[in-house]
């Protein structure tokens, strides 16, 4: 069965960096897209970034573009979200999700079917 385990969250000061990891198992990793979503208290969940493991296509939420980088290590079945220059508004629970087939391009990302538990990211001002 599909399993996704997000880790790497924590408390970081504004302007700092954090790297989230999503370890995946139970599906053909290189045929799926892996995405990062976040949900802050009182706000709707939003897609932050995704990567197509087979073709490397990526999408970024406009508010994180240029600060966050998503990457994939297919040998380790792991996707990373490098978060630089973080802001207090990046505070949220971050989730990774996966699905195939998928839509993940510079113009947007599709909803994903399989979800892991979240990891809390808190950015202090």
For residue 17, give both structure tokens: 């960096």
pLDDT, position 40:
96
Question: What's the rounded Cα separation, in Å, for the pair 105 and 119?
Answer: 25
Q: Which among 34, 28, 29, 57 is positioned nearest to 47, based on CA atoms?
A: 34
How long, in residues, is the chain?
125
- Give pLDDT, residue 91: 98
Query: Which tokens go with 65?
Result: 């573009």
Percent of the chain with pLDDT over 90: 83
88-109: per-residue pLDDT in tens?
999 999 999 999 888 999 988 9
CB 91 within 8 A of CB 53: no
Instruction: Tell whether the model's pLDDT for residue 30 goes beyond 90.
Output: no
Structure confidence by residue, pLDDT tens digits, 52-62: 988 889 999 99
Question: What is the rounded CA–CA span in Å between residue 49 and residue 38?
Answer: 10
> For residues 62, 67, 68 and 73, what is the CA-based torsion angle, rounded to 10 degrees?
130
* Mean of per-residue pLDDT scores for the chain: 95
d(CA 48, CA 26): 24
């Amino acid at each position: 069965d599909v399993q996704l385990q997000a880790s790497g969250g924590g408390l970081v000061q504004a302007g700092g960096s954090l790297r989230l990891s999503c370890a995946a198992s139970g599906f053909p990793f290189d045929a799926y897209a892996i995405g990062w979503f976040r949900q802050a208290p009182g706000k709707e969940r939003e897609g932050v970034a995704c990567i197509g493991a087979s073709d490397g296509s990526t999408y970024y939420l406009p508010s994180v573009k240029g600060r966050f980088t998503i990457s994939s290590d297919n040998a380790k079945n792991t996707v990373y979200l490098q978060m630089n220059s973080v802001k207090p508004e990046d505070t949220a629970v971050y989730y990774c999700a996966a699905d195939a087939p998928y839509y993940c391009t510079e113009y947007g990302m599709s909803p994903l079917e399989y979800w892991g538990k979240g990891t809390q990211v808190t950015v202090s001002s």
